[in-house]
Amino acid sequence: MDDTFTGRTEAHAAPSRPRGSAEGRVAALASYFENLDEALTCESARSRDAPVQDALAARRLGMASSLFLALRAKHAPTAAHSLRVALACSSWANRLGLPERLRDALEIAALLHDVGKIGIPDYLLMKPGKLVGEELLAMDRHRAHGHEILSACCESEAVLEVLRYSGSWFDGTRHGFDCAGNDLPLGTRMLAIVDAYDSMTTEHVYRRAMSRERAVAELFACAGTQFDPRLVKEFAKVALSDGLGLDSAMAQRWLREIQPEHAEAMLRASGARPHATAPVPEGPVIGEDFHWRLLENMHDGVFFVSEQLRVLHWNRAAERLTGIRGSNMVDRRFVPSLIQMRRENGKPIDDDACPVAATIVTGVQMLQRVQCAGRNGRLVLVNLHLVPVLSPIGEPKGAAVILHDTSNQVTLEERVQKLHERATQDPLTKVANRAEFDRVIAEFVETHRQAGAPCSLIICDIDHFKKINDVHGHQAGDEALVHFAAALSQFASPGDLVARYGGEEFVLLCASCDNAAATERAERARRHIASTPQSVLGGRCITASFGVSEIQGGDTAETLLRRADRALLQAKETGRNRVVQLGTGLRGTLPSLERRKNWLIGWLPAGHGASAVTRDLITPVPLHVAAEKLKGFISDHHAEIIDVAENHAVIKVDGPSAPVPRRQSDRRVPFTIRLEFREARIQPGHRSGGHFLRTEMRVEITPARKRDRRHADIAQRANQLLVSLKAYFMAEELPGAVSGPSADDGASRPGADAGGPRSPV
């Protein structure tokens, strides 16, 4: 059943399809397509943007689009996930040059691969935590439900074959399937990879979103067992280069080339009405933006619930207070245990005694002091103000809930906000200047690192800015800079810092913000800037490129800045007007060295500690990917290459210094790092018959100067470099490798907390 993907041939070239009858409608939908990610991820706007999903599903499925609409009515996040997976599969298949028939089958199967969740109970789909035991078994039956539903309305054996083996493992170890390895349909193997990747890079209540690099590493870790190792390698090339962006080519295929009648040749629906053209979505109601802007900029946490206790909106302040993103709360049933709500005396509030439900039933306002879990699990004392929402005839419609933080503890955002307020402004754009940014970033990174909280850096640059000055004049260029800075500031939250780094380059420090949230914010800023006409430019729009990175193990302010700058350079090299994210982030990395020092290092006298740190590491990625990670480490640390050969490298790098050097011993110490690589081919030993690759490496870190070996903290500094190397390579120590001081006593393997790829629920 395997199909090659070495490139499209003339025999496989698809005949051109007739264009839609209304060019204006196609253009309008294509414009909405550019904002599809935001439409699918912004839960508060879901009702307004549902027509975008309808239009795409109708184009791809024809009359059978009612199945997709039923899935969205049942559980909108699952429908949004299915649409993202289908579009990503379409983009990947296009890059592989698959025949048109296989691509059509893959797109339809991907769009409907979770349709069986229509038959899953609501309490499972809405559960805020991980599924366990019988719940997992019940959820796993959705594939059988989906295959049964489609068998009644699908004439395409290719589509049914892809879905029949959905959920199977490449090595054949998952029960209930009669083939494995390359005998599995190519579409099934591709769908499994994209499905897991989207699940891992999407935010869930039970799991934070992973960065692209971390998600790809998890795919490599499961290559040969759960996934086809050859396809994982091909997918990684796309995901780590420019991603699976929903570009204009995909818009043209889905909205202009594909006709509903073509899909209806593969899908039949008995007694279905003729296909109706999906209406072009209209803009928001005038005045609505003012309400949302007010809610999103309030200091107090605010959320709305329906009469059935389903969360309708969860503002930014509620996100900051609880650490739970709004996209994970909207459409979920609110219960006190969701935010670990307790009475003022610390006694937990039972879900059956929910004060929000009591307000809806009684129609009476309530004000009480409670505790709830804040960021990092710490309990926060809040005033809970409950306001019932009634219809004109007095019937309950829901409730508005206000959470006012009354704790004396100054939050991390407020501390950083004070730095922001005292910032020295750039005279032109009125945001912080370069000097203030240089002063703040070191303290910003150190504060978050000590708190164990993520923070991210977005660096952006106006595309082709010189042309603006040359064509429209320097005054127009200055106005463009002012508008750009103002637009960027709109996407800054309290505690963030916006600064002009130099020329047309700006930076945004994002407090308590991980890779996924920062990338989403940068993407929204990019779209807003690209769609806002500039009067000084004759009504034309400007575009910008963005680089994003989150702090990770062993990072300093310098390495974070260089990595984000490297991401910006990659965005420019791959076509501009796009967002590129680099780095693994704090997820799965090691604890901070300040809190987990090796007791032996502190006990030994100065000069007696080990003069070298040697470790045997293993990373789930193959050798060529590990080589790219090493290039990133060298670039971000400004390392000097001493020697390089096929399987080993020697580099020299300045080690980390004390945060505020006061003595000669606090200054930077140069280290020599020797790395030896070996690619291991591992046979899974099952029916798949394939193999998968891992990279093993030996790392030795020694002071470059002999006199530096007398420093009391030399082992700690070397360990910090080791932590950074492990973060870049996404590596763990090989069992039994105990040479030199440990950098991760008790640390878990990368991604262990994720429990492997999991389908979204």
Q: Which residue has the tokens 């193959």?
A: 622
pLDDT of 461 over the 90 cut:
yes
pLDDT at residue 587, rounded to an integer: 66
Edge-to-edge strand order for the sheet containing 311-314? 311-314, 301-306, 396-405, 379-390, 366-373, 342-343
Confidence bin at 162 (pLDDT 50/70/90): confident
672, with CB counted inside 10 A (0-12, 13-18, 19+), is middle
Ranges 89-103, 538-552, 655-669: which has the least confidence: 655-669
**Taking every pair of C-alpha atoms in the chain, what is the biggest distance, in angstroms?**
86
**Selected residue with higher pLDDT from 594 and 53:** 53
Residues annotated as catalytic are: 504
At 536-575, the pLDDT tens digits run: 888 899 999 999 999 988 888 899 999 999 999 989 988 8
What pLDDT does 302 receive? 93
Determine the average pLDDT of the residues in 96-110: 85
Predicted local confidence at residue 579, as pLDDT: 93
Confidence of residue 479 (pLDDT cuts 50, 70, 90): very high
Beta strands 579-581 and 544-550, pairing class:
parallel
**353 pLDDT more than 60:** yes
Residue 691 has pLDDT above 50, yes or no: yes
In this prediction, residues 652-663 reach a mean pLDDT of: 55
pLDDT in tens, 389-435: 988 888 889 999 999 887 754 455 566 666 556 657 888 998 999 98
Please name the residues in contact with 473: beta carbons below 8 A apart, sequence gap of 6 or more.
none
pLDDT per residue as tens digits for the range 255-274? 445 555 555 555 554 334 34
pLDDT of the residue at 335: 92
State mean pLDDT over 476-503.
92
Q: Residues 395, 306: contact at Cβ < 8 Å?
A: no
Pairwise pLDDT comparison (392 vs 533), residue with the higher score: 533
Give the pLDDT of residue 694. Answer: 83
Instruction: Give the single-character DSSP code of 655.
Output: P
Q: Please provide the average confidence, as pLDDT, over all residues in the chain.
A: 76
pLDDT at 265: 52
The band of 56, judged by pLDDT with boundaries at 50, 70 and 90, is low
How would residue 202 be classed by pLDDT, with cut points 50, 70 and 90?
confident
Residues near 317 by beta carbon (within 8 Å), at least 6 away in sequence? 298, 299, 300, 301, 302, 403
Which of 44-53, 625-634, 715-724 shows the lowest per-residue confidence on average (mean pLDDT)? Answer: 44-53
**Which of 18-22, 384-388, 731-735 is most confident?**
384-388
Residue pair 307/398 in contact (Cβ under 8 Å)? The answer is: yes
CA dist., res. 622 & res. 33, Å (int): 35
Handedness of CA 33, 34, 35, 41 (dihedral sign): positive
For residue 341, what pLDDT band results from cuts at 50, 70 and 90?
Answer: very high
Residue 29 near residue 55 (C-beta atoms within 8 A) = yes
- pLDDT over 70 for what percent of the chain? 71
* Average pLDDT estimate for 371-381: 84
